[in-house]
Chains A and B, each alone.
Chain A
Amino acid sequence: MAAGGTTATKEHGHPKEKVYVVVALWLALITGAEITISYIKMPDPAKIAALLILSIIKFAAVVGYFMHLKFDNPVLRKPFITGVILAGALYTIVLLAFTLHSNTPPR
Chain B
Amino acid sequence: MATATVTRQPLFSRPRSSHKGVWSWITTVDHKRIGVLYGFTAFAFFLIGGFEALLIRAQLARPNGHVLNANQYDQVFTMHGLTMIFLVVMPLSAAFFNYLIPLMIGARDVAFPRLNAFSYWVFLFGGLFLYSSFLLGGAPNGGWFGYAPLSVQKVTGSVPFAHNMDYYAIGLIILGIASTVSAVNLVVTIINMRAPGMSFFRMPVFIWMALVVQLLLVFALPIVTIALFLLLFDRILGTSFYIASNGGDPVLWQHLFWLFGHPEVYILVLPAMGIVSEILPTFSRKPLFGYPVVVLSGIAIGFMGFGVWAHHMFATGLGPVANSAFAVSTMFIAVPTGVKIFNWLATMWGGRLRFDPPMLFAIGFVTMFVIGGLSGVTHALVPHDYQQTDTYYVVAHFHYVLFGGAIFGLFGGIYYWWPKIYGRKLSGKLGKWHFWLMLIGFNVTFGPFHILGLQGMPRRIYTYAPGMGWDFWNMVSTVGSFMIAGSILVFIYNAWHSRKYGEIAGNDPWDARTIEWMTSSPPPEHNFDQIPVVHALDDFWHKKYVEDKGGKLVPVPAGGENGHSEQAPEHEAGEHGGGHGIHLPSPSYMPILAAVGLPLIGYGLIYGFYISIVGGLILLGGLYGWAFEPGTE
Contacts and interface: CB of A to CB of B under 8 A. Distances in A.
A and B touch in the complex (CB under 8 A): yes
Contacts of B191: 75
A90 B321 contact: no
Nearest to B219: A86
Interface in B194-231: 215, 218-219, 223
Most buried by A among B191, B256, B319: B319
Given A75-B191, A79-B187, A104 B259 contact: no
Contact of A97 (B215, B218, B223, B322): B322
Contact of B219 (A82, A98, A101, A103): A82
B317 interface: yes
A75 B194 CA distance: 15
Contact of A101 (B218, B223, B256, B322): B322
A12 interface: no
A41 interface: no
Contacts of A94: 255-256, 259
Interface string A93-107: 010011011011011
A24 B370 CA distance: 57
B110 interface: no
A88 B319 CA distance: 22
B259 A101 contact: no
Given A75-B191, A79-B187, A83-B219, A97 B317 contact: no
Nearest to A103: B319
B335 interface: no
Given A90-B259, A94-B255, A94-B259, A104 B310 contact: no
B306 interface: yes
B319 A104 contact: yes
Contacts of A101: 251, 317-319, 322
Given A75-B191, A79-B218, A90 B306 contact: yes
A99 to B, nearest CB: 10
Given A82-B219, A83-B219, A94-B255, A100 B322 contact: yes
Nearest to A75: B191
Interface in B235-285: 249, 251-252, 255-256, 259
A63 B126 CA distance: 35
Size class of the contact patch on chain B: 20 to 34
A5 B335 CA distance: 59
Contacts of B259: 90, 94
Contacts of B320: 104
A90 B310 CA distance: 11
Most buried by B among A75, A86, A90, A98: A90
Contacts of B255: 94, 97
A100 B259 CA distance: 18
B251 A98 contact: yes
Interface in A45-91: 75, 79, 82-83, 86, 90
A15 to B, nearest CB: 29
A73 to B, nearest CB: 11
A33 B320 CA distance: 42
A107 B323 CA distance: 14
A97 B251 CA distance: 10
Contacts of A103: 319
Contacts of B322: 97, 100-101
A86 B306 contact: yes
B475 to A, nearest CB: 37
Given A82-B219, A90-B259, A100 B187 contact: no
A100 B306 contact: no
B230 to A, nearest CB: 14
Given A90-B259, A90-B306, A100 B318 contact: yes
A21 B328 CA distance: 50
A77 to B, nearest CB: 13
Nearest to B320: A104
B219 A100 contact: no
Contacts of B249: 98
A79 to B, nearest CB: 7
Contacts of A90: 223, 259, 306
A94 B325 CA distance: 13
Nearest to B313: A97
A107 B317 CA distance: 8
Nearest to A106: B317
A100 B251 contact: no
Nearest to A100: B319
B6 to A, nearest CB: 25
B129 to A, nearest CB: 28
A106 B316 CA distance: 11
27 contacts: A75-B191, A79-B215, A82-B215, A83-B219, A86-B219, A86-B306, A90-B223, A90-B259, A94-B255, A94-B259, A97-B255, A97-B318, A97-B322, A98-B249, A98-B251, A100-B318, A100-B319, A100-B321, A100-B322, A101-B251, A101-B317, A101-B318, A101-B319, A101-B322, A104-B317, A104-B320, A106-B317
Instruction: Give the top 5 A-B pairs by smallest Cβ distance, nearest first.
Output: A104-B319, A100-B319, A94-B255, A97-B322, A100-B322
Given A82-B219, A83-B218, 18 more contacts: A79-B218, A86-B219, A90-B223, A90-B259, A94-B255, A94-B256, A97-B318, A97-B322, A98-B249, A98-B252, A101-B319, A101-B322, A103-B319, A104-B317, A104-B319, A104-B320, A106-B317, A107-B317
Interface of A: 75, 79, 82-83, 86, 90, 94, 97-98, 100-101, 103-104, 106-107
